[in-house]
Structure 1
Amino acid sequence: MVDFRKLPNLAALRAFEAAARHESFSRAAEEIHVTPGAISHQIRALEEELGLLLFTRNGKRIAITESGQRFAAAIRKSLGEIATATAALQEQNRQQRLVVSSPPSFASRWLAPRLWKFVDRHPGIEVVLQSSSHLNDLARDGIDVGLRFGVGNYPGLKSEKILEEFYYPVASPHYRQGRLPSSPQQLRDCVLLRMDGLQESWLPWFALAGLDLPDPAGGLVTEDSSLTLRAAADGAGVALTRHAIASQEIAAGELVRLFDIALLSDRAYYFVTVPDVAIKPQVQHFRTWLEEEIALFKAHSRWPGRVSN
């Protein structure tokens, strides 16, 4: 058995290997980020410990001895094995990490409340959930999975549709002291909340419901669907919302779905990955779990009835 207590100082061995490879204390010092004096001191101490010269010195010029060459080759091989083992361990740790990016509303209202199930099933995988309204560069930002709400056109990426989405109006059960509209026509007398942007326009839903109304103007306009839902739950008006986003508040009784008219969106949720990343075990585990959760969601939530696209 090797007595590791007799091993030379590791820092001195690293300094010696670098000096032997470069045949220069100065260049070894630059590589290790110490001073040339520190390299010289470490090698002197190593020579004293070994009882032999590793370099011959002629002023500032050095030359490695024959014994030094043999020792340097052995040290280089051992340090290489340590470096390889370290890289393998770091890669294994990276493989157990899963970075998921999602739009804020979907992350907070649908994914996060369910994510503990995945963590329980795969305790060895560290999940990092990022929420952003912007499209991340998955490869550049080190993101394994991007959950995106769009039309599925993501050049250079692998994308799979995982969940369609529907729009319908919701309101607090206490809106107007509980006198909620009983027909789409009564929306003419309601405060209609809206988000900024054409994608969240009321007009397509109005057309499906047979209403000849302009898109709402004035009043509260938000840039996030979570804020719109919060305003609706607080009784500020009627919001046009997405089914997956509002399901939590509807189940809790904070919001009530109005009418049985739902508009199938031309956008959907997509599971997006860099092609090389899609084969990672943790990505495949997450994809399988997500499919199961979506199936449960469809089975247990009130899936929209009368729909159109």
Structure 2
Amino acid sequence: MGLLVLSDAFPRNRHADQRLGPGPTERPKRRRASSARRNDMTTNLPSLTAVRAFEAAARHESITEAANELCVTPAAVTHQVRALERWLGVDLFIRKGSTLCLTPAGETFFTGSNQAIDLIRAVAQKVSTPDNRVRLSIVAPPSFAAQWLVPRIASFQSTRKIELSVSIRAVSSEKSWRTSDIGIVSSAETPPFLERRPFLGYRIIAVCSPRLLTGPNAIRSLSDLRKHALLHDEGLKQVDGVDWNSWLRGAGHGPIDTSDSIRFSNNFTAYRYAADGHGVTLAKDVLVQSELARGELVNPFEYSDRSKRTYDFVCTSANFDLKPVAQFWAWLQREAQQDRALMPA
């Protein structure tokens, strides 16, 4: 059976042409309509240069620092911000002394523009050439960065063309997140636009120098803690709600007078002070693994308190789709799994 090909050899019916769509003479009108729609979309968008200038000024809370980042003059940034304010019809900034503060409208516009720039950056990295070196900015709490992240991070970089920038601070507000791609948190509160993925749990244990296990005041039971200085990590109380007496209560022991104890705002300092033989401190087990392995610290008791908190990986939804972010997240999970295998259940 042959193939029947129907060609346009017969004359068109004029009415059929009208039913099927516009004829050749109407095509320019369709192009003009499409162009008009594009013009409408353009006029409904502010200048992206102005948006970028505003976002940088809001993030740094400084016109001068925004100008340095964008490699332009402060006057140019001010001009772009004012142009954006005129376009929006609202004030975005107010000055309080030497501080540049966002108005409520500015806060709203900053949140949206910051997320939009993140999305553009994510798309740009997706389509960029694979040989380009990618920069990944990480923010992490000081103790976690010093005790857990930094000692391991060389294993992540060794096989990847990723330039890492680690900032040491807590992520508790939108302002603290503004210059970061990804972060590590253990606190309850983070900016609402961030997604959280837990990856590392921990227990709270007592640690001290092995020197305190010998001599006339040797630690052999919980009652022996009365003979030694009890060191306090204020961050542990703030984040986990745990102090010495709540920990002892969980261990089935009565309270101990801790009024003359030393208090530290940084747990790394408390760990170091304990390792030098000056007292006993409570510690997150995942942060003192190296000291325990080297014998600088010991855990004199079987009891440990499992924290309700975890260390969580945080990121915007747009950044989660980036390849380097996915690689870092996978690496974090592998490192955490190795930690769990080394620690007692």
Give the TM-score normalised by structure 1. Answer: 0.64
Task: Quickly say closer, same or farther: Cα 1:214–1:153, change in 2 above 3 A.
Answer: farther
Equivalent of 1:147, from 184, 207, 215?
A: 184
Q: 1:217-228 residue pairs with structure 2 within 5 A?
A: 217-228=259-270
How much has 1:188 moved relative to structure 2? Answer: 2.4
Q: Greater shift after overlay, 183-192 or 229-238?
A: 183-192
How much has 1:212 moved relative to structure 2? Answer: 1.1
Q: Greater shift after overlay, 181-190 or 287-296?
A: 181-190
How much has 1:141 moved relative to structure 2? Answer: 2.2
- Aligned letter for 1:299? A
How much has 1:92 moved relative to structure 2? Answer: 4.3
In structure 2, the residue matched to 1:271 is 313
How much has 1:142 moved relative to structure 2? Answer: 2.7
Q: Where does the alignment leave 5 or more consecutive residues of structure 2 unmatched?
A: 1-71, 74-123
Equivalent of 1:161, from 182, 187, 198?
A: 198
In structure 2, the residue matched to 1:120 is 158
Task: Quickly say closer, same or farther: Cα 1:215–1:245, change in 2 above 3 A.
Answer: farther
How much has 1:174 moved relative to structure 2? Answer: 1.4
Q: Does residue 283 of structure 2 align to residue 245 of structure 1?
A: no
Does the Cα contact within 8 Å between 1:151 and 1:268 map onto a contact in 2? no
Between the aligned partners of 2:177 and 2:269, the Cα distance in structure 1 is 30
- Aligned letter for 1:131? I
Does the Cα contact within 8 Å between 1:119 and 1:125 map onto a contact in 2? yes
Does the Cα contact within 8 Å between 1:204 and 1:263 map onto a contact in 2? no
In structure 2, the residue matched to 1:11 is none
- Aligned letter for 1:147? I
Question: Which is strand-richer, 1 or 2?
Answer: 1
Q: 1:72-87 residue pairs with structure 2 within 5 A?
A: none
Q: Does residue 295 of structure 2 align to residue 257 of structure 1?
A: no
Q: Could you give the per-residue CA deviations for residues 263-299 of structure 1, whole angstroms, max 9, x where no partner exists? A: 0112110101111111111100000011111111111
In structure 1, the residue matched to 2:209 is 172
- Aligned letter for 1:267? R
Give the TM-score normalised by structure 2. Answer: 0.57
In structure 2, the residue matched to 1:216 is 258
Between the aligned partners of 1:262 and 1:272, the Cα distance in structure 2 is 27
In structure 2, the residue matched to 1:282 is 324
Equivalent of 2:224, from 181, 186, 189?
A: 186
Equivalent of 1:97, from 122, 130, 135?
A: 135
SS at match of 2:254: coil
Q: Could you give the per-residue CA deviations for residues 224-273 of structure 1, whole angstroms, max 9, x where no partner exists? A: 00000011001110001111111111111100012111101121101011
Between the aligned partners of 1:120 and 1:143, the Cα distance in structure 2 is 22
Does the Cα contact within 8 Å between 1:95 and 1:280 map onto a contact in 2? no
How much has 1:209 moved relative to structure 2? Answer: 1.0
Between the aligned partners of 1:283 and 1:218, the Cα distance in structure 2 is 46
Between the aligned partners of 1:214 and 1:108, the Cα distance in structure 2 is 31
SS at match of 2:258: coil
Task: Quickly say closer, same or farther: Cα 1:101–1:125, change in 2 above 3 A.
Answer: same
Between the aligned partners of 1:227 and 1:140, the Cα distance in structure 2 is 25
In structure 1, the residue matched to 2:271 is 229
How many equivalent pairs are there?
218
How many percent of aligned residue pairs carry the same amino acid?
Answer: 28
Does the Cα contact within 8 Å between 1:97 and 1:127 map onto a contact in 2? yes
Task: Quickly say closer, same or farther: Cα 1:138–1:111, change in 2 above 3 A.
Answer: farther
Tell me the C-alpha RMSD between the 2 structures: 2.9
Does the Cα contact within 8 Å between 1:100 and 1:144 map onto a contact in 2? yes
Task: Quickly say closer, same or farther: Cα 1:225–1:139, change in 2 above 3 A.
Answer: closer
Between the aligned partners of 1:292 and 1:192, the Cα distance in structure 2 is 35
- Aligned letter for 1:250? L
- Aligned letter for 1:108? A
In structure 2, the residue matched to 1:106 is 144
Task: Quickly say closer, same or farther: Cα 1:92–1:130, change in 2 above 3 A.
Answer: farther
Between the aligned partners of 1:275 and 1:138, the Cα distance in structure 2 is 18
How much has 1:191 moved relative to structure 2? Answer: 1.2
Does the Cα contact within 8 Å between 2:171 and 2:183 map onto a contact in 1? no
